[in-house]
Amino acid sequence: MLLVRNIRLPLSCGEAQAVREALRILRLPASAVRQSGIAKISVDARHKKPVLVYTVAITLNDEGADPALAGAAPCVAMAKQPRLVLPRGSEVLADRPVVCGLGPAGLFCALLLARQGLRPLVLERGPALDERVKAVEHFSATGELDPNANIQFGEGGAGTFSDGKLTTRIGDELCGYVTQTLLEHGAPAEIAIRQKPHVGTDLLRGVITSIRAEIERLGGEVRFNTALTGLKTQNGRLTGIETTAGELPCQVLVLAVGHSARDTFEMLHQSGLDMTCKPFSVGFRAEHLQSAIEESLYHEAAGHPALPRGEYQLSQQTGGRCVYTFCMCPGGQVVASASEEGGVVTNGMSYHARDGKNANAAVVVSVDGRDFDEDPMKAIAFQRQLERAAYRAGGGGYAAPAENVQSFLNGEGRLTIGRVQPTYDRGVTPYDLGSLLPGDLAPTMRAGLRAFERKIAGYTAQEAVLTGLETRTSSPVRLPRGEDYQSLKLVGLYPCGEGAGYAGGIVSAAVDGLRVARAILGRFKTGI
């Protein structure tokens, strides 16, 4: 298959014109083509006149002609088909491998193990997705929090209640395997072609439960409402685990617990496992009118039906730290994401249609081990301290402190609600957000926001709203592992995914789960 990239066309053109342009570049008649289609679509709005940029996939009747045509123009190349090469181990595994956590990393790790006959046992501290959705909706309506069933914990992990964003910067060929699997389980076909693909919180739920059902059909087992509480070891090897449902023999444990499993991190630390500080970030959720963002990005073309909802990603180095936007949710809402009583945590989500009035994104500033004396327990304590301060500032009931961007820049602590209506589901309380951030974090955030205004006109508009605090951008800890993906201190323990410090998003976490599964398959015989 050939890929013809960088076909730039006006918004008024469509996919048929893109295919015709690809054939013109290749100097081929339509009769020479067995199949053609759009492999990728992106938007270039840099010059105030947006254009669509297509990559067209061409399959020839004579596939042997591909190499000769690959050099027909600089924009033409042969496509590399994603391959998943699996090693075959020789050790005998007496007990089923255990996967702890059913977020993206645990889900994809368990799926690959199940597809190869290892019948994994999956432990998830939260409930199945239907019950989890009910718990989240109950918390949103009443403020009654279930510490094990919330936006952080339960089937699908924290990514379930986001946007289903599939954008990633990693170049691993396993990304294609992740995309293909999601498509097989009901994700919309457009995720294969969009520059910034997303599934949407509403559609992602069905995809997750479908993947779990495949794991179970293949002999895997998922035990919900079951948390890991301890490890049993002998001579540096894992021999068993302790859970809230009792003890289990275990030679292989995939630790894919997510970035918010603080009690698990504390248990591992007390068990003597190596753990280091990992950089993360804290800050707020910024809300603007979605239409205003699109006017700034697309100019006079804003609102054109050929354009996707406007998204942005901004960053600015300021005083040795980085201020940046993260997890931008077009047409979305800000959601209450606490997993511990007495703490306010914000996050963002949107549905597949992205048809809400507001855009929201995390605006955060980086912190690292130097801020915590390189002590991972101090890093966790720092997050918890901020969340409890935000709870007090909101006045209780998981209401969140908020203020206008201009008020934050001036340190005024005022909130005037105009065209931008805050969407945080537990309600907001006017507060001086800068007073919640210690040290140089607030001044650094202000400098970053002023820089963002130079990149997106209106970013610091008076009507824009900041809601705090955003503290769960990524895991504050890393569990060191070797080239074989096992813990450096405990044979049989496989730290995995975002919680272990090796991923940052749905796709990268899923890929890490596949890498760990591949390492296990390279060590043990299949077909337990």
Domain shared by 229 and 118, yes or no: yes
List the CATH number of the domain containing 21. Answer: 3.30.70.2700
Domain shared by 304 and 321, yes or no: yes
Residues 196 and 354 sit within 8 Å (Cβ to Cβ): no
Answer whether residue 192 is part of any domain.
yes
Q: What is the C-alpha separation between 497 and 178, in angstroms, rounded?
A: 14
Instruction: Determine what percent of the chain is predicted with pLDDT higher than 90.
Output: 87
Q: Which of 45, 78, 111 is the last residue of a domain?
A: 78
Q: Which residue has the higher pLDDT, 398 or 198?
A: 398
Q: What is the C-alpha separation between 511 and 393, in angstroms, rounded?
A: 39
Domain shared by 289 and 245, yes or no: no
Residue 193: the pLDDT is 85
Q: Which of 16, 50, 78 is the last residue of a domain?
A: 78
Handedness of CA 476, 480, 485, 490 (dihedral sign): negative
Domain shared by 25 and 48, yes or no: yes
Residue 169: the pLDDT is 77
Q: What is the C-alpha separation between 149 and 138, in angstroms, rounded?
A: 10
Q: In 3D, which of 399, 392, 402, 397 has the Cα closest to residue 363?
A: 402
Q: What phi and psi, each to the nearest 5 degrees, are found at residue 110?
A: -65, -35
Residue 84: the pLDDT is 82
Q: Which of 78, 111, 142 is the last residue of a domain?
A: 78
Is the pLDDT at 527 greater than 70? The verdict is no
Domain shared by 36 and 161, yes or no: no
Answer whether residue 190 is part of any domain.
yes
Q: What mean pLDDT do residues 386-398 have?
A: 98
Residue 528: the pLDDT is 56
Domain shared by 500 and 377, yes or no: no
Name the pLDDT band for 82 (thresholds 50, 70, 90). low
Domain shared by 424 and 464, yes or no: yes
All residues at 6 or more sequence positions from 357 whose CB lies less than 8 Å from its CB, including other chains: 289, 290, 331, 421
Domain shared by 50 and 120, yes or no: no
Answer whether residue 56 is part of any domain.
yes
Q: What mean pLDDT do residues 62-91 have?
A: 84
Answer whether residue 86 is part of any domain.
no
**What are the b/e assignments for 496-509, b being 16+ CB within 10 Å?**
bbbbbbbbbbbbbb
Domain shared by 261 and 233, yes or no: yes
Answer whether residue 375 is part of any domain.
yes
Question: How many domains is the chain partitioned into structurally?
Answer: 3
Answer whether residue 426 is part of any domain.
yes
Q: What is the SS3 assignment for 271?
A: coil
Is the pLDDT at 227 greater than 80? The verdict is yes
Handedness of CA 323, 509, 505, 398 (dihedral sign): negative
The reply to whether the predicted model has a pTM over 0.85 is: yes
Answer whether residue 433 is part of any domain.
yes
Q: Please, where are the H alpha helices in 437-480?
A: 441-455
Domain shared by 361 and 448, yes or no: yes
Residue 66: the pLDDT is 86
Domain shared by 343 and 417, yes or no: yes
Name the residue range of residue 6's domain: 2-78
Instruction: Determine what percent of the chain is predicted with pLDDT higher than 70.
Output: 99
Residues 60 and 66 sit within 8 Å (Cβ to Cβ): yes
Q: What mean pLDDT do residues 305-315 have?
A: 95
Is the pLDDT at 373 greater than 80? The verdict is yes
Give me the amino acid identity at 479. Answer: L
Average pLDDT, the chain: 95
Q: In 3D, which of 326, 264, 242, 323 has the Cα closest to residue 476?
A: 264
Rg over alpha carbons for the chain, rounded to the nearest Å, is: 24
Is the pLDDT at 508 greater than 80? The verdict is yes
Name the pLDDT band for 6 (thresholds 50, 70, 90). very high
Answer whether residue 385 is part of any domain.
yes
Is the pLDDT at 83 greater than 80? The verdict is no
For the stretch 118-177, pLDDT in tens is: 999 999 999 999 999 999 999 999 999 999 999 999 999 998 887 778 888 777 889 999
Q: What mean pLDDT do residues 266-291 have?
A: 96
Is the pLDDT at 205 greater than 70? The verdict is yes
List the CATH number of the domain containing 502. Answer: 3.50.50.60
Angle at Cα 439 formed by Cα 433 and Cα 440, nearest 5°? 85
Domain shared by 338 and 447, yes or no: yes
E-strand spans in 81-227? 98-100, 121-123, 221-223
Q: In 3D, which of 204, 265, 186 has the Cα closest to residue 479?
A: 265
Residues 8 and 55 sit within 8 Å (Cβ to Cβ): no
Residue 263: the pLDDT is 97
Q: What mean pLDDT do residues 393-406 have?
A: 98
Q: Which of 163-177, 246-260, 280-294 has the lowest mean pLDDT?
A: 163-177
Is the pLDDT at 115 greater than 80? The verdict is yes
Q: What is the C-alpha separation between 437 and 200, in angstroms, rounded?
A: 32
